[in-house]
Each structure stands twice: as structure tokens, then as C-alpha cells.
Chain A
């Protein structure tokens, strides 16, 4: 169902191919017809290039809001300072392409796939919006709809909403092709992100095009300022999120240092839990919460007066597990984590029928990590899975166990080897510290 890539590579090629064809046609057409209003084209090109240069870090859903808004605004530009602007879709795409190439010189030189995806999406969305708007506007077909009066803004917003939807479908398809994750949740995440920065981009695109129509090119920098403020806010937010994640991961490591849990346990459970959650179709928010809870799931052990020895052969009895879960929930509540995280940690040891799906995943993945560690490497994973399958009556949700089996099978040899490498390195550090112990 989610076997990665392979069959999806044609999709990436198709998207890139379509963008390339569009680009070549536009450039040819623009060269043939000549540039309409070069001053306006240059101003918008500078705006788009600046937007691409001021991009947010990688991993953001829309990494260059100002670039996107500038491209959409140029696609929707009907006139400049009350004089009609007669550039068509071809010139729009050409200007966006040239500006984006200037802005993306560095990332393109570093040869990242995502940059190419980004460029392809930018060209296709700008081309789509321009094709919808320019011919209709310049032939006067929109005039009866009130496009020269107060209805212009709602019309443009509706058009951009449609563009954003198409872009979300495209982005989710590209993400699916790149990662092999299920399409449904990816599309849902893309759509859910639209009201955020997406709405600000669309609004700014419309505002720039209308304000340029009224006030001329001076409107460009003025309209860009509010979006830059939004971008700054998003960047601050992203930075604090990263920091918060690092701190949570460190708090998770505290249990290892204190000798309550085996080295790397929390991190492995978090990574595997995320993969299983994705396999089961959870959205980005749930995955984040699951990861957070997985990192902190053993934190309750720190509150015990005498830490339980790590890696003890026999797992705790159910009562003990539940007690640690409750203690952990109390600690997690103190750490200011979202209440859902504390709820998962609290209920991690309940029978699966009483648990939300995130807690089921946590329970099964934790048990798997413990079992797989106790069994010798060749066949250890299989034997651990077998043990889990045997306890699907009460403890483990059969759906989660099967998802785990699929994730393990898909990850295959390569990932396991990587993990073992990491474990080895971590074990080295811990061994050094333990040696101090016995000094």
C-alpha cells in the first residue's frame, strides 16, 4: 500500500516535464512577442527574486511566501497606475521563471530535489492563475461581473482559492512521490495548512495586484511589508518549535542518563511510532503529539525514589507500568506540553480497547523496542513481532501490530543497519560514562 517511490517517480518526471514545457513555451512566446511594459516586469521580477532570497528554512510548507505572493500578483495584474497592462500568461511565466532562477541560484547549485519541485510548483501555479485571469480580463469578459468595481477583490480571491487548491493537490502528490507516505493524510495536511500562511499569501497577492492598479509600482514595497512581518512571525515560531523539540528530546535523554531506560530507547520509539502513525494515516498534528509523547513516555521513572535498573530482562508487571504511566503524565503536564501528550503518556499501559489510537501505537512500539532488544539480532525483530501478535487479544491492537510489521518490512535492511550504527555509537558514549562509574 505504501511501498515507497519506484512507481511514483514518473509522477515527479511528469510534473517537472510539464513545468519545463510551460517554461520553454512561455520564453519562446515572450521572445517572439517582445516584453510588454518592461518596467513593471522588472519591478515584479525584483520583488519575486527578493522573496525567494528571503525564504524561510527548509521544511516549511511554503518556504518563500513573498515570492509566491509576488508571482500570483503579477499573474492577476490588470493595470498599473490606471494604465492597462497587457502582459499575458506567457510573459507572466517568463518573469516568474527568471526571477525565481535568480532567487534560487544558491539552492539550485546545491542541487536539491525539493528546490526543483518548488520551482515547478511556482511556475505551474503562476501559469494557472494567469491563464484563468489574463485572457478573460483583457477581452472584457469579466466586466459584466463587476470586475472593475468592488467585486474585483472577491473574484480574485475565489480564483486564488482555486489556485491554492490545485497547488495543494500537486504538493501532496509530489510529497507522496518523494516519501512514499499515503496520499490522503498528506493532502489533508496541505489543505489544513492553507488557512495559515496560504491565506496571507493569497490576500497579499490580491492586494498587490489591486494596489498596483490604483497607485502604481510604489505599492509593491509597501504591500510587501505586512507579509514580511507575517513571515518573520512564522520564522520566530519555527525557531522556538525547533528549540522546544530539542529540549524535549534532551529531557527524554535524562531518563537514559539516570539509568532508568536503555540508551536510545526514547528516540527509537519516537521514530518508529511516527512511522507507524503515518502508516495508519494520522495527520501531521497527531504525529507531532505522538512523537512528543513517545519521547517522554518513560519520564515517570525519574519520580521513583529508586530508579528501576535499565534493561532488566523481565518487563514490569502491569501495575508497575500503569503507575509509571500515571507519574509520567503528571510530570508531562508540568512541562507545559499540550494536554493530549500527557493523556497519551498516562494511558500508555491501558488495555488497547480503552486507548486512543496514538496511545495504542505508543504501547505497541514501546513493547516492540523492549522485545527486539532482548532478542538476539538475527530474527530478533521477527520474534518480537510474533510475541506482539500473540498478545493482540488484550494488550495490543492487531491493526497497529500489522502496521508495525509493514513499516519494519518496508524500512528493510538499510534503515535497520543505520539504526544499529546509531545505537552502537550511543552505546559507546554510555559505556564510557559507565566506566567512570566503576572508577
Chain B
């Protein structure tokens, strides 16, 4: 049995009561009111919501422009009360009936508010709605009504988040209104045209045509999200192929992606670049696909020849990802993530600022995760020790800016290694976790010789010391 806090229950009750009060004057409207239009629009809205939730806003806005406010509030009810569960807004943990009531109440309030504002503006601007001579003024009215509709919805959604999930007000409201503004204006335009045609001589059949592009864009966006999910699954498959070969690095790629994104955010990079850097971290070792599995899993020290083969993996990786356009600078990061600031890295021995910025970010993230994650054959370091080690190597191996950014981000947000790989056993807070020798030849000198662990596969998978 799912329950919600008493405050949220009270809030839903208040909203429902307010909605009833908004709609109640409809009873006094009498037979002269446009009941037939209200019924038709309500049926249309319910039908649209059943077809595919979340795109039928123009129908409600048309109702707000066409009908008296109490009737507009009633228009939303049948659609909201019969909506599919996926269409219902917060609170997620409430019982379905409560969520339906909440959804209906907030839509009714928003419709009523939009209708009332439209009526006031129409009176103030002195236009009889929706004929040619009224036109620039009617645009203003429709835009204001659409904005009022979205603002009321955003305010109520934020309030219920605060009441039900005890979110702090700023984080609850942030991100609700601003992203909704663009779609809201488009819905306003479509609502206005629906209303214009509905009332014209051409009637409802013409008004229905306005909804077709809206439905289509909703459908295409759904396709878009499906395709994007498939794309992300493909990227994960690439990474999993590496994990299959190299048991030590389970979850390593995801974590490096996360650490790279942390650094990028700390450096104030744009959201887009941050995503690219996340992918750079996730894919940095994809070239290990080209390295024989035998070498990746080898116990004990590597011969110089074997090391040379392993050191080819940045070039292999670049060869694999260079055709993926959206990765942008992440491709350079894959190629250069083993370069060192003093020029003694590989594959090209670039130094200083000739190493691409993205590669310098990924290098720090990679070393950090290698030091703090569980591997079977070496002592792990706790996060502060790893940061100290990064600081020690800053300037020679790592870019001090990136190291400082990572340290600041870690101090503020902490580090949850198990987050990305929740399905697997979380590694212990500290244990035998040193950086991979093959990954970081520089550290080889400071490390004690590798211990041979007989059941390394099991150990690596469980993350047990």
C-alpha cells in the first residue's frame, strides 16, 4: 500500500475543492451556455489523451478561449480522470485514484485561470474574439492565456513535489517553467487556431486538422527517444565488449565517464561539452578490443614487447570511434588519454597544451578511478590518498587544473563508485586497489611488486579483497 504525507493529501484535497469551486458556476449558466461545444471538446480531449498522452494541450487552450471559464474547467475533467497511468503527473508514490484526482484538479484550475485571463484581456482590448478585425489583439490574448495555463501547471506541480516528496522549493520549481515556455507558446498558437476554426463557418472538422501536426511531432519525439535509447545501448555494448575481455576494468569505463563529467562541470564547461566528455571517459579504453585478451588478463609483469602492444590501444580506440561524428573532441581524448604533460606519454609524446583538453581531463579521471577502484592484485587507496597522489604528479603527468577541479568536485559532492554499476557488488571502501600497471606505467616504480592472486577473476568480479 502506497502512502503519501498528510500534507500532500491535504494539498490534493484543497486543489480538488478549488477546482470544484471553479467549475461550480457552470450550474448557473443555464441552457444558453455552449454546452454542446464543451461536450465535444471534452470528448475530443479525452480521445486525444487516450491516443497518446501529453500533446492535447491545444484542445484545452481552445476551450479556454471559446468557453466561459467554468465550462473550460469542466472540459479537462473526463480526459484527466480516464488518463492512462503514464500521463499522470506527480506525486509518483500516491495511489492511482489520488493521482487522477490531482491531475484533473490541476488541469481544471489551469483551464479556468487561462479562460478567466483571456476573458479579462478580451474585454480590456475590446475585441469580440476570433474574427479577422480582432487579430493582432487576439494573438496577445491567446499568448497570455497559454502562459497562464503553463504557469499554473508548473506552480501546482512544484507545490505537490514540495508537499509529497519534501523537496526544497528552489529545486522543485527550477526546471519546471522555463523549459515549458517554448512548447507552451506553440500550444497557444495551435489552441488559437483550433478555436478560430471551431467557431468559423468551416466548423470542427477544420479545427481537427490543426491537431494533426501536433500529434505527429509527439509521435516523432517518441521515435526519437526510442532511437536514442537504442543508440545508448549500442555504446554500452561497445563498452561491454571491452569489459568481457578485461575483467579488471568492470565498471571502470562508466566511472571514468562520471569523473570526467565531474571535472568538466567544475571547469564550467557547457552541458553539451560535458556530455561529450562523459562519452570520452566511457569510451577511452575501447581500443582494448584490439589487444589480445591473453595480454589483458596476464598475471605478473609484462615484457617490454607486450607493453608495447598494450600501448597501442589508444590508436585502436581512435580507429574505432573516429567515424562517430557526435563524439567530437572525445575522439581526440580517446587517442591521447595516455599522453603526459612532460611529453613522456604515448602514442605521440605530446607535451603541455598540445595535448587536447579533453584528453587531459580523461587522463586524470582514468588515473583517479584506477587508484580508487577494486582490483584483485594491488592495494587500493582511499579517495584522499588518490587525490594526494594526483596532486603529486600534477605538472609532470597531469594537468594541475584538472586535478584541482577533480579535488574540488570530490570535496563538494563526494565519490560513489558503486553508482554506475549498482547491479554489481559495490567495492569495499578500501582494499587492494592500485592503479593498473599497464594503464599507468609512471606509477609502476612506486608500487610494490604485484602479488599473484590465484582466483583473480572471482575476486575482480566480486570486488572482494
Q: List residues of chain A with CB under 8 Å of any chain B CB.
A: 81-82, 148-154, 157, 196-197, 199-200, 203-204, 206-207, 210-211, 213-216, 218-219, 222-223, 225-230, 232-234, 236-237, 240-244, 246-251, 253-254, 257-259, 302-303, 305-307, 331, 334-338, 429, 433, 436-437, 439
Q: How far is it, in angstroms, between the C-alpha of A214 and the C-alpha of B199 when the chains are bound?
A: 10
Contact with A along B235-257 (1 / 0, CB 8 A): 11110110010000000000000
6 pairs of residues in contact across A and B, judged by CB atoms under 8 Å: A153-B205, A196-B216, A233-B217, A233-B224, A243-B326, A246-B325
Do residues B209 and A223 form an inter-chain contact, with CB atoms below 8 A?
Answer: no
- Which of the residues B210, B312, B315 comes within 8 Å of A226, measured between beta carbons? B210
**A273 smallest CB distance to B (angstroms):** 19
Report if A437-B309 is in contact (Cβ < 8 Å); known contacts: A246-B323, A247-B231. yes
In angstroms, Cα B233 to Cα A242, docked, is 15
Beyond A230-B216, A246-B326, A248-B234, is A436–B308 a contact (Cβ under 8 Å)? yes
- Interfacial chain A residues near B326, Cβ < 8 Å: 243, 246
Q: Is the CB of A257 within 8 A of B323?
A: no
Query: Which B186-230 residues have C-beta < 8 A from chain A?
Result: 186, 189-190, 192-193, 196-197, 200-206, 208-210, 212-214, 216-217, 220-221, 223-224, 227-230
Residues on B with C-beta less than 8 A from A242 are 325
Residues of B within 8 A of A228 (CB): 186
CB closest residue in chain A, given B347: A436
Among candidates B132, B233, B240, residue contacting A336 with C-beta atoms closer than 8 Å: B233
Q: Residue B459 at the A interface, CB < 8 A?
A: no
- B292 smallest CB distance to A (angstroms): 8
What is the CB-to-nearest-CB distance from B389 to chain A, in angstroms, rounded to a whole number? 30
Residues of A within 8 A of B186 (CB): 225-226, 228-229
Whether A153 contacts B216 by the Cβ 8 Å rule is: no
Contacts A216-B135, A257-B316 given; does A240 touch B189 at CB 8 Å? no
Q: Which among A213, A219, A247, A251 has the greatest number of chain B C-beta atoms within 10 A? A: A247
**At the interface, is chain B mostly helix, strand, loop or mixed?**
helix
A222 in complex: contacting residue of B189, B217, B238, B240, CB < 8 Å: B189
The residue in chain B whose Cβ has the minimal distance to the Cβ of A152 is B202
A residues less than 8 Å from B319 (CB atoms): 253, 257, 429, 433
For B227, list chain A residues within 8 Å (CB). 237, 240-241, 244
The distance in angstroms between the C-alpha atoms of A361 and B284, with both chains bound, is 36
The answer to whether B139 has its CB under 8 Å from any CB of chain A is: yes
Q: Are B286 and A254 in contact (CB under 8 A)?
A: yes
Chain B residues within an 8 Å CB radius of A307: 292-293
The distance from the CB of B375 to the nearest CB of chain A, in whole angstroms, is 21
Q: How many residues of B contact A (CB 8 A)?
A: 71
Cα distance, A268 to B230, chains bound together (Å): 24
Q: Which of B193, B228, B234, B289 contacts A207 (CB 8 A)?
A: B193
Q: Measured between C-beta atoms, what is the minimum distance from A239 to chain B in Å?
A: 8
* B185 CB–A CB distance under 8 Å: yes
Say whether B223 contacts A149, CB under 8 Å.
no
Q: C-beta contact mask, B315-340 vs A, less than 8 Å → 1, else 0? A: 11001110111100000000000000
Name the one of A149, A236, A433, A439 contacting B221, with C-beta atoms under 8 angstroms: A236
A184 to chain B, nearest CB (A): 26
Within 8 Å by CB of B206, from A153, A254, A257, lies A153
Please provide the chain B residues from 118 to 156 with a CB less than 8 Å away from any CB of chain A in the complex: 130-133, 135-136, 138-139
Specify which chain A residues have a CB less than 8 angstroms from the CB of B130 in the assembled complex: 214-215
- Which residues on the A side are within 8 Å of B131 (C-beta)? 214-215
Query: Could you tell me if A250 and B220 are in contact, using CB atoms closer than 8 angstroms?
Result: no
Separation in Å of the B459 CB from the closest CB of chain A?
A: 20
Give every chain A residue within 8 A of B230 (Cβ-Cβ). Answer: 244, 335-338
- Say yes or no: A250-B320 contact (C-beta < 8 A), given A153-B205, A199-B212: yes
B contact residues around A218 at 8 Å (CB): 135-136, 138-139
Which of A227, A229, A240 is the most central at the interface, judged by chain B CB atoms within 10 Å of its CB?
A: A229
Task: Flag if B290 contacts A259 (CB, 8 Å).
Answer: yes
Q: How far is the CA of A148 from the CA of B212 in the complex (A)?
A: 22
Q: How far is the CA of A179 from the CA of B36 in the complex (A)?
A: 55
Q: Please, how many angstroms separate the alpha-carbon atoms of A302 and B315 in the complex? A: 19
A230 CA / B183 CA spacing, docked (Å)? 11
**Measured CA separation A216–B133 after assembly (Å):** 8
Which residues of chain A are near B290, meaning CB under 8 Å? 257-259, 433
- Least CB distance, A31 to chain B, in whole angstroms: 30
* Cβ–Cβ < 8 Å partners of B233 in chain A: 334-336
Q: Is the CB of A210 within 8 A of B213?
A: no
B203 contact from A150, A199, A206, A230, Cβ within 8 A: A150
A437 to B216, CA, bound (A): 53
Bound Cα distance A223, B135 (Å): 14
Distance of A207 Cα from B294 Cα, bound (Å): 67
Chain B residues whose CB sits within 8 angstroms of the CB of A199 once the complex forms: 212, 216
Q: Which of B247-302 contact A (CB under 8 A)?
A: 286-287, 289-290, 292-294
Given contacts A237-B224, A337-B230, contact A207 B241 (CB under 8 A): no
List of B residues within 8 angstroms of A214 by Cβ:
130-132, 196-197, 200-202
Confirm or deny: B424 has a beta carbon within 8 angstroms of a beta carbon on chain A.
no
Taking a contact as CB atoms under 8 Å apart, the answer to whether A203 and B315 are in contact is: no
Contacts of B416 in A (CB 8 A): none
- A251 in contact with B238 (CB, 8 Å): yes
Interface: B396 (CB within 8 A): no
Bound CA–CA A157/B131 (angstroms): 24
Shortest Cβ gap from A212 to chain B (Å): 9
CB-nearest residue of chain B to A244:
B231
Q: What is the minimal beta-carbon distance from A51 to any residue of chain B, in angstroms?
A: 14
Given contacts A154-B205, A215-B132, A243-B325, 15 further A-B contacts (CB under 8 A): A153-B206, A200-B212, A215-B131, A218-B138, A225-B186, A230-B220, A240-B224, A241-B227, A242-B325, A247-B231, A257-B287, A335-B233, A335-B236, A335-B237, A336-B233
CB pair B201–A148 under 8 Å, yes or no, is yes
B282, chain A: closest CB distance, angstroms? 12
Residue B89 at the chain A interface, CB threshold 8 Å:
no
Contact status B193-A211, CB under 8 Å: yes
- Residues of B within 8 Å of A302, CB to CB, are 241, 244, 289
- List residues of chain B with CB within 8 A of the CB of A229: 183, 186, 213-214, 217
Q: Report if A258-B289 is in contact (Cβ < 8 Å); known contacts: A230-B216, A437-B312.
A: yes
